[in-house]
Amino acid sequence: MALNSSLVGTSGKVTFESPSNIALVKYWGKYGRQMPQNASLSFTLQNAKSITTCEYEVLEEQQEKIQLTFNFEGKENDAFANKISKFFLSIEDIFPWIRQIKFNISSENTFPHSTGIASSASAMSALSLCLCTIHEKVAGKLDDFFQHASMVSRLGSGSASRSVYPHLAQWGKHPNISNSSNEFAIPFGDEVDEIFKGFHDDILIVSKKEKSVSSTAGHALMDSNPYAESRYKSANENMSLLIKCMKEADLETFIEIVEREALTLHAQMMCSKPSYILMEPNTLEMINRIRKYRNETKIPLCFTLDAGPNIHLLYPAKYASKIDGFIDNQLIEFTQDDSIIRDRVGFGPQKTNS
């Protein structure tokens, strides 16, 4: 689609900061065009984020290829530029003007590159928010900006669909959640008790190594996993249970479900063909210590895991100083180089210029 000729030569710049998120009910397994096999729910984080700037210029006519340069953390990065060009081509049906724009994109993360922390959720959501802003400049207003940004983010990385809202986001059609959709995430902060908006997430880095299996490959393994169907069913059941206990601030049930979800994700990888063990011995040692500390102190802290060995320690804000002591005395020795990313539930993306 050619853009209105009056736009030719116009240019602009948009910057978005967008956070990572941590799933409480995990998405693992997909079909079709990045559709989830089960519903998922996540905390939006505050400190671990990507900051992405897109400079754009409207060209005279559509180009054969995507016109794009990409700068990551101060250096030109052709590998990322190629990935983004492919992504842009794949969403040409959504942004038919995308080959008539010259992009100059730069991005950085607030968290160190080699911490084993996946940046796809923050990076893809920041980029999609920039694209939706450019769309509004060149092609007209979107009915629901954040819903559209969530849908575009999903096409870049499924979990990124949940990064565009404050506090909590839910993604994936679920019979008990009106407005839920496989196409985009919906905001969920207002559906739970206030205590959860103050939750902390201390990310204890057990290993800074790259993931041993990419999430694309991990999702694909679910297609031949003999337990896949029962996993999808139990994830949707856990979603119903989790929503109920989060409305009621029932932390005991919250802890039980969140930890079971994390371990179930890892169990799926253990029984895939081929099978993968994504935890390290230090991950298990920390899990045992967290459970022991909880039993002894009755402090409602729990862990969750991504598809890797690092521990996310989740707890209500008022226990922060006690948990600091627990980390220093009992957990830090099991991290690589004393690495911790201290994070908490956050306010969602922010546009920092236009």
Nearest distance in Å: CB 261, ligand PMV: 9
Nearest distance in Å: CB 171, ligand PMV: 8
Pick 27 or 97: Cβ nearer ligand PMV: 27
Pick 120 or 207: Cβ nearer ligand PMV: 120
**Residue 165 phi, psi (nearest 5):** -120, 155
Four-residue CA torsion sign, 35, 38, 41, 44: negative
**How far separated are the first and last CA of the chain, in Å rounded?**
24
Nearest distance in Å: CB 276, ligand PMV: 12
Nearest distance in Å: CB 252, ligand PMV: 23
| DSSP string covering 74-131 | TEE-HHHHHHHHHHHHHTTTT-TTGGGEEEEEEEEESS-TTSS---HHHHHHHHHHHH
C-alpha dist (Å) from residue 241 to 14, 36, 43, 46, 317: 40, 19, 16, 26, 23
Footprint of ligand PMV (CB under 6 A): 23, 26-28, 40, 118, 120, 157-159, 215, 306-307
Which residue has tokens 């994700």? 265
3-state helix, strand, coil in the chain (%, to 5): 45, 25, 30
User: Given the DSSP bridges, would you call strands 101-109 and 67-72 parallel, antiparallel or unpaired?
Assistant: parallel
Pairwise CA distance, residues 193 & 56, whole Å: 42
Nearest distance in Å: CB 41, ligand PMV: 9
Pick 44 or 120: Cβ nearer ligand PMV: 120
| DSSP string covering 250-296 | -HHHHHHHHHHHHHHHHHHHHTSSS------HHHHHHHHHHHHHHHH
Pick 35 or 320: Cβ nearer ligand PMV: 35
Pick 99 or 312: Cβ nearer ligand PMV: 312
Q: How many residues does the chain have?
A: 354
Is residue 136 a contact partner of residue 142, using CB atoms and an 8 Å limit? Answer: yes
Pick 118 or 204: Cβ nearer ligand PMV: 118
Nearest distance in Å: CB 329, ligand PMV: 30
Nearest distance in Å: CB 42, ligand PMV: 6
Pick 106 or 157: Cβ nearer ligand PMV: 157
